[in-house]
Structure 1
Amino acid sequence: MCGRFTLRVSPALLAEMFALHRKPEFVPQTNICPTQLVLGVVLNQENGLRDARLFRWGLIPHWAKDPVIGASLINARSETISTKPAFRAAFQRRRCLIPADGFYEWRNTPGQKKKQPIWIAIRNQPVFGFASLWETWTSADGSELNTCTIITTQANSAVAPIHQRMPVILPEAFHEHWLDPLADPAELLTLLRPFPSEGIVLSTTVADELLASHGLPRQRTLFD
């Protein structure tokens, strides 16, 4: 299981698009991978403002004894996040948005052994947010690690020919409700649906350009 996405916008634009009270510090990236640190948007419950924080991609449940479990929990299926032990507590109280400007998936090409990378983005939208969950895991020595997972749903008609799943991309109008710790979880589940197909942009050219400096990722699937 693997994942790849991109975040290439400026800190100023990110702060504007996600209503952050200050510009975040981060380095734009074209090939963000599991277990790396990723930027997440959370609601600071002390002052009611939105903060940008770093999370390791791959959620480690607070009850886990071994942090290695995080590598297998980079995605959370929308259909089971309210009941699965690894995610249900985070879904109730620790929701976040993971900013991106695109993500990758791989498509079979007739006559070719290697799959063709596809870069998937939102039309006329320079940055968007994946619906995500976060958790704090405490090790035996008392040190803490903040981790996250990206929620997925059934693919829309634009993405389905490439992969049966896709990340949940939340429209800006739903950001406040998703981050609200007092929001009704039952209502939030209704937000976890595929982004409209007509808003999706697919590009093999952009994928090839962005991955050129890294080489093609060995793993071939993105979102479970």
Structure 2
Amino acid sequence: MCGRFNVTSTPGLQVLLNELSVDVQVTEAACNVAPTEAVGLLRSTGDAPCSMQLARWWLTPSWAKEVSQKYAMFNARSEGLSKSPAFRKPFASQRGIVPMSSFIEWRGSAGDKQPWLISNEAEALAVAALWDLWFDDKTDGSEPLLSCTLVTTAAAESFKPWHTRMPVMLSSDDRERWLDNRAPIEPDDPVFAPQLREALRLVPISRAAGNSRNKSPDSILPAGEWVTLPATDA
């Protein structure tokens, strides 16, 4: 699961965008980003180069009658991408990337959960996403709604104390392949394996992060000792 993340101006995140040939400068922090908010989505259509656009973080399928939050569509389980009516077409030809500096996960028992900040050494994660366009039939000439969902997979063994799921964090070798919608990706592709392809760094942060309206950078400052989970990719 991935229900909150952050986009802060780190050198590593800028390098990531440059490597993907996206001419965007991250100048303002977006902290504690929550589902239904606008997020930066990298996508490529046809032969066009990759570009970044704002998308609503909660997928609305093109065939939906209305924009709704009846079903949780901010995450898409990798195991069902080729089967789900909502995700099947985006998985085949509408894949994208949501860049982030870190994401937040909660650990602990109900009523006493501690938020943790999770990232890699570069503070730059390329998380696999799917997108779709929805047109409002009731409004002539309106712009379509661009929305997206983050792809998750089963957690690596070392990550399970934090959650049973984790976002699909694309390695440098997988990013362009994921963005190339001219070539299919199989449902059992190694990109979905429950492994850490690079080490993750985790640290507890303020419980103020539990309130999605709290967008202060102070809410994601370290409030304890760092933990490192080593890479498990063979």
Q: Using structure 1 for the length normalisation, give the TM-score.
A: 0.82
Is contact 2:178–2:185 with CA below 8 Å preserved after alignment? no
Aligned to 2:211: 217
1:175 to 2:185 alignment? no
Partner AA of 1:120 in structure 2: I
Is contact 1:43–1:179 with CA below 8 Å preserved after alignment? yes
User: What secondary structure, in the 3-state scheme, does the structure 2 residue paired with 1:134 have?
Assistant: strand
Partner AA of 1:168 in structure 2: V
C-alpha distance 162-2 of structure 1, shift in aligned 2 (>3 A): closer
1:41 to 2:35 alignment? no
1:23 to 2:20 alignment? no
Deviation at 1:157, TM superposition (A): 2.1
Map 1:61-100 onto structure 2 (within 5 A): 61-69=61-69, 72-100=72-100
CA RMSD of aligned residues (A): 2.5
Partner AA of 1:182 in structure 2: R
User: What do the CA deviations read for 1:83-126 (whole angstroms, capped 9, x no partner)?
Assistant: 100100111110000001111111116xx93211111111x222
Aligned to 2:217: none
Is contact 1:59–1:70 with CA below 8 Å preserved after alignment? no
User: What do the CA deviations read for 1:3-38 (whole angstroms, capped 9, x no partner)?
Assistant: 100110268545314321x22577321211100000
C-alpha distance 146-5 of structure 1, shift in aligned 2 (>3 A): same
Task: Structure 1: give runs of 5+ residues left out of the alignment.
Answer: 219-224
Partner AA of 1:156 in structure 2: A
Aligned residues: 207
User: What do the CA deviations read for 1:39-84 (whole angstroms, capped 9, x no partner)?
Assistant: 011124343x210111100000111002114762000000000110
Task: Structure 2: give runs of 5+ residues left out of the alignment.
Answer: 213-234
Is contact 1:168–1:195 with CA below 8 Å preserved after alignment? no
Partner AA of 1:91 in structure 2: F
1:135 to 132, 136, 153: 132
Q: Percent identity?
A: 32
User: What secondary structure, in the 3-state scheme, does the structure 2 residue paired with 1:67 have?
Assistant: coil
Is contact 1:81–1:87 with CA below 8 Å preserved after alignment? yes
Map 1:95-110 onto structure 2 (within 5 A): 95-108=95-108
Is contact 2:45–2:181 with CA below 8 Å preserved after alignment? no
Q: Using structure 2 for the length normalisation, give the TM-score.
A: 0.79
Is contact 1:44–1:51 with CA below 8 Å preserved after alignment? no
Map 1:199-218 onto structure 2 (within 5 A): 199-204=199-204, 207-208=205-206, 212=208, 215-217=209-211
Separation in 1 of the partners of 2:187 and 2:153? 16
